[in-house]
Structures are given as C-alpha cells and as structure tokens.
Amino acid sequence: MDYVGIDIGSTASKVVARGKKEMEFVLPTGWSSKETTHTIKEKLKENDIDVLSEDTKVVATGYGRVAVDFADYVITEITCHARGGREMAGDHCSIIDVGGQDTKVILVENGMVQDFLMNDKCSAGTGKFLEIMANRLGVTLQELFDMADTGTVLPISSLCTVFAESEVINYIGEGRKREDIAAGVVDSVAAKVAQLSQKKSLAGRIILTGGLSSSRYFTRILSEKIGREVEPTERGRYAGALGAALLAEEKSR
C-alpha cells in the first residue's frame, strides 16, 4: 500500500508518501490549487504511485484541500499538523505553525488535539508578512533572516501588514540600515506569533512547523518572546503532509 499526504498551502504545496514507496517533495501552489493538484498527481505517477489505484490512500489537507478531487479523505490542517507534529515531538507537545496565510497554535495531549487557535483574517504574524517585507527590502526570506541576525531591532508598531509596510517604507526613506529594518520585521512577526501562542497554555515540547520551521534565528527570537524554548524542526514544513500520510494509513486500517 501507498499512503500519500497532500498539504495544499497558500504558498507551497507539500507531499509526503509512505508505505511501499517513500518520498517527499514541495512545490509552489501558484494561482490554481487544481493545477497544482494535477502536477502532484503526475509527479507521483513518475514515481510509480498511482493516486487512483485501490492500493493508494490519499489524505488531502491545507487551505486548498477540497481541490484534491482524488483524495480518499479530506482532513483539516489542524488535525494533520497535530498528527505530524506528534511524530516529531511526541504525544504531549505544542505546535506553532507559521504558514503562508495563517498561523496556528495546536496543543496535543495524549496524542490528540486538545485545543487550537488560529489567527484572524489579517496577515500580520504570518509568513505572508515576512514575504511582503522581504520583497520590499529586495531580499529572499533566508537573506532577511541573515540580515536580521546582524541588525538592531527598529520598532514596527503597527499590527496591520499594510500599515507596517508603510513604516518600513518610512525607515527606508530615512536611510536606516537594512539589517536593522530586517531585525524589526522579524521581531514584529515573532511578537505577533508569541502573543497568539500565549492565549493558550503551551505544554510539553514546543515545536515550530511551517515554512519558517528550520530557521534557527526565527525560533531563537520566538523563544525569547514566549519565554520558553521553541524548537526548530528540519522537516517542519512537511508536518501537515506527513500527518496526512500517517492519517491515510490509520484511517484505512
């Protein structure tokens, strides 16, 4: 049997296959979840995984989960992230997922979701915010973190991405150092994520998942804000897809 987890995020789509054939890959979601889904299907086929076969069980998750028309089950990213996170940090853990369009905090107890929280509609405190600011500074996300590491935080007080962008533009206009602006940007996202996290009582190991999960710099800043260690995860961006693949296996038992 093949068990496939597909996580169609707003920025990136992640795929994990387990069972007979093991693989994982990521691709940009682009403008159409449908098209991305089709690409994923083809890519799996090249690797001898036929999603339409009886011997393949597929769980779709992420904001574009309904676009995966060949999925055997559709499960929300909360449940899938919790399952994947559990695999990474054990049955009692807290997962902070900073995604492209939303940020989630999930508490796992005895291997089950015990509580969760998602940010509001607004994009402050999400990956989108960092993406916009990195674009504004003309650097990649990784470069943004690297620069931030050497800078001194310039305060960005606005809670709204659009207003925060004007603050950044003002700083650019004033000729402030890019490193300092970058440090301010990362600090502001970390503060927003920490604020959301602190609405719940985080217990057990705390891990970061999502696109920023491997950034040691970001987890360091986030840990400072929360006052507890937030662990980076090497495969954290696959947490949702991995959880989906595991659930595909468990569901078909």
Interacting stretch for other proteins, rule CB under 8 A, among 90-98, 106-114, 123-131, 164-172? Answer: 106-114
- Does residue number 7 form part of the binding site for other proteins (CB under 8 A)? no
Mark 222-233 as b/e (b = at least 16 C-beta within 10 Å). Answer: bbebbeeebbbb
Which of 79, 94, 103, 233 is the binder for other proteins (CB under 8 A)?
79
Nearest approach, Cβ of residue 23 and other proteins (Å): 26
Handedness of CA 192, 194, 196, 199 (dihedral sign): negative
**Nearest residue to 204 via CA among 229, 173, 167:** 229
Q: Provide the 10 A C-beta neighbour count for residue 160.
A: 12
- Does residue number 48 form part of the binding site for other proteins (CB under 8 A)? no
Nearest approach, Cβ of residue 74 and other proteins (Å): 9
Q: In the range 107-146, which residues lie near other proteins by CB under 8 A?
A: 112-116, 118, 120-121
**Nearest residue to 249 via CA among 22, 91, 68, 9:** 22
**Nearest residue to 8 via CA among 83, 129, 101, 86:** 101
Applying CB under 8 A, the site for other proteins has a residue count of 15
Which of 76, 195, 198, 214 is the binder for other proteins (CB under 8 A)?
76
Which of 7, 15, 40, 63 is the binder for other proteins (CB under 8 A)?
63
Residue 206: both structure tokens together: 């705390």
Which residues sit at the interface with other proteins, rule CB under 8 A? 63, 75-79, 102, 112-116, 118, 120-121
